[in-house]
Amino acid sequence: MAYTASHWGSYELDGNTGIKPIDVDPRPSRIGRGWVSAARDQNSRILTPAVRKGWLDGDGGTARCDDTYVALSWDQASALVARELTRIKTEYGNGALFAGSYGWASAGRFHHAQSQMRRFLNLAGGFVSSRDTYSHGAAEVLWPFVLGMGNQALQDQMTSLSLVAEHCELLLAFGGISERTAQVASSGTTTHDVGPWLERLHERGARVVNISPRASDYPGAEWVGLRPGTDTALILALAHNVVTAGAADTAFLERYTSGWPEWRAYLLGETDGQPKTAAWAAPICDIDVETIHDLANALMTKRSMISMTWGMQRADHGEQTIWAGLGLACILGHIGQPGLGYAFGYGSTTSVGRPCRYIPWPSMPAGKNGGADFIPVARITDMLLKPGAAYTYAGETRHYPDIKMVYWVGGNPYHHHQDLRRLEQAWTRPQTVVVHETCWTATARRADIVLPATTSLERADLMMNRRDTRLLYMSPLMAPQGEALCEFDIFCKIAAHMGLEDAFTEGRDEAAWLGHLWARARKTAEREGFILPDFDAFKAMGRVDLPPEEARRDHIALRDFVADPIAAPLRTESGKITLFNARIDSFDLADCPGHPSWLRPAESLLDAGTEDALQLISPQPDTRLHSQNDRGSEAQSDKIKGREPAYMHPDTARSRGLAEGDIVRLWNARGACLAGLRFDPAIRRDCISLATGAWYDPQQLADGTWLEVHGNPNAVTLDQGSSGLSQANIAHTCLVRIEKWDAPLPALRVNTPPPITSAPVDL
């Protein structure tokens, strides 16, 4: 049997015509239905290496966001990249090269684009990298202070949803738990099992409350539709209610936490004169006082789980929300018990809370980065616009490097970054931008040198996800499109021009590397107590299921610490969960105090003069992974007149003279975009939801106005760090106005590749 894998699921190859979901998957992803058509779309695929005409003419990057291209041979292109890398290193040093490539790239273990890039550039002397993620950047910086561990370590021990399904009596789901976001898992998945566990929870009769602006974030749950950006206020009020009712678990707080007296004083208003009562929180959150009292009473009488999605902290002061949720769980005292306590990330991907054994499968060795410097991942625009400027991060004062060259592979910043018009301004600053891409995304269209890469459907690879119970040999479905090459072969060509080919390949081609990685995987399996077949047998089988007795593991977050906090202390300043953190407090950050606090967002419906504004929610899409497969049949069929759909309450729409199917313009001071309107009666009346991932298509209209015409919400989102602690993105802190678009619809440039000529090039 022949298989392949992606971040949204695993598939059997159906001849040479297509794919079908693997037979063990109970809930195959919708995304997969558009995968093959996207890979075969000749209008979007990059079919030849190319160089930007303006770069050849020495324009200094001024036309980088709107230019034509000249086709190159692979030898010309690889020599040109090698020459530029050598020039930048010689003239400025490796600290002038930013290769903070970010994105999900391939699910395969060998052909993961960023891994190949890091290996090559580390051999070339190193580069400026990026740290943390857009998904949970605030948490990645906060958790080491508060819990003494990074986010990956916390995810690894996250309480299994199987235990929640069996033991939880009350699940408060902040941000919901959605099978839409649970379609995906980094490094691949063979099953989608969040839905079945949640169904078991409902069958048991547990009370489930979805605290979110949209009911669809947890279908079937009781819905509390609070005002976006105010979850922290609600959590503080719930904590206040429990404490003043005398129901706080003081034994847990004294044994397992530090800083409780300081946080308690804040909750009671002893430090700022404002008790965090339900009456205080209700007008902030725009919910009834009775609703808050009811939830608090339920928390005091039922065995509970406080669940928070990753999206909760993608907002201004996002650290406060997840820290407050953890604090509430500490007050209730259920942490460390089966199916109870605190969780971060259920439903954000399908593997969070999966009851399986985590096995450290091998990956492509990357070597050591001699560049050493880094930036927080969401601060790329600030870095390019403000070289040398100071910023704070994790208690340090750092300075942005002066970047002369950007090297980007396996990702699309013009999907995941905020305020894309500002990014375009910054993107003109470097001397050279090199991009490897499969398709003419907005990032590829803004590169000086473009190198066409294959998709996972065009090459062999290994799916070895440490959070999955199956291993797959990924067979190609089709031949590479045009002149596309895999990243390994691309870097081999560049390395040959720089004298690095032997070091990069270690004498192995793709097939030999796959065999080498499998041999290492077999040794890993032996250490774990079971046997894997040899490589030829595995390749013929296509799939190996781990032994059932080896595959299943139930996890309980912080179990060892709760069992014995003396023997298994946390790596925090106190060895305990810090509800007041002296180190954070010592940083003297107005936007991140020493304990969980309510801080007004930078942009909010609480502000004066926002009566006609709407809160923009920009969730993950249902039809694609981020921007991947936006050119596929599934995503295309979901659009309205070619534009991404935006969801709005029908009463709000009608009050503004809007009808379902209308094309609307969303706008604010940062920019504007078009979208197609759909009604959703289960969304707050002051919100509008526009998913991320529509390929960025900005155009200047005849009257000189700027407009993104396809429906990319990051045309209007705010590019600002969540705090001076983490500098994470705040995509969900955004207000927009809306109006019907009555003018003729601009043609979509994403439907056609940029102009490419085949004129001779003198390099």
DSSP string, 565-605: TTTS--SSSSSSEESS-HHHHHT--TTS-SS------SS-T
**The pLDDT of residue 762 is above 80:** no
The pLDDT of residue 331:
98
Active site includes 342? no
The pLDDT of residue 577:
98
What average pLDDT score do residues 466-494 get?
97
Confidence of residue 563 (pLDDT cuts 50, 70, 90): very high
| pLDDT tens readout for residues 603-648 | 999 999 999 999 999 999 999 999 999 999 999 999 999 999 999 9
> Any idea which of 375-379, 496-500, 755-759 has the lowest mean pLDDT?
755-759
What average pLDDT score do residues 203-220 get?
97
**The pLDDT of residue 66 is above 90:** no
The pLDDT of residue 372:
78
The catalytic position among 11, 104, 256, 393 is 104
Q: What's the pTM value of the predicted model, to 2 decimals? A: 0.97
Question: Which percentage of the chain shows pLDDT scores above 90?
Answer: 95
| pLDDT tens readout for residues 675-723 | 999 999 999 999 999 999 999 999 999 899 999 999 999 999 999 999 9
What average pLDDT score do residues 304-318 get?
98
Strand-pair partners of 678 = 647
Question: Which percentage of the chain shows pLDDT scores above 70?
Answer: 100
* Measured distance CA(132)–CA(151) in Å, rounded: 10
Short-list 355, 354, 299, CA closest to 330: 299
Confidence of residue 513 (pLDDT cuts 50, 70, 90): very high
Output DSSP code: residue 174: E
Active site includes 104? yes
**The pLDDT of residue 16 is above 80:** no
| pLDDT tens readout for residues 134-182 | 999 999 999 999 999 999 999 999 999 999 999 999 999 999 999 999 9
Confidence of residue 724 (pLDDT cuts 50, 70, 90): very high
Short-list 112, 51, 75, CA closest to 496: 75
Strand-pair partners of 70 = 51, 757
* Measured distance CA(506)–CA(761) in Å, rounded: 33
The pLDDT of residue 105:
87
Q: How far is CA 71 from CA 49, 256, 397, 448, 450, in A?
A: 6, 63, 44, 12, 9
* Measured distance CA(632)–CA(630) in Å, rounded: 5
Short-list 450, 488, 455, 494, CA closest to 72: 450
Vertex 349 angle, CA 348 and 353, to 5°:
95
Short-list 704, 713, 697, CA closest to 746: 697
The pLDDT of residue 758:
86
Secondary element (H or E) of residue 139: helix 137-146
**The pLDDT of residue 548 is above 90:** no
**The pLDDT of residue 52 is above 70:** yes
Mean pLDDT for all residues in the chain = 96
Short-list 308, 306, 288, CA closest to 348: 308
The pLDDT of residue 763:
73
Residues 6+ apart with CB under 8 A from 709: 643, 673, 674, 697, 698, 699, 745, 746, 748
Short-list 641, 630, 712, CA closest to 672: 712
The catalytic position among 3, 8, 102, 408 is 102
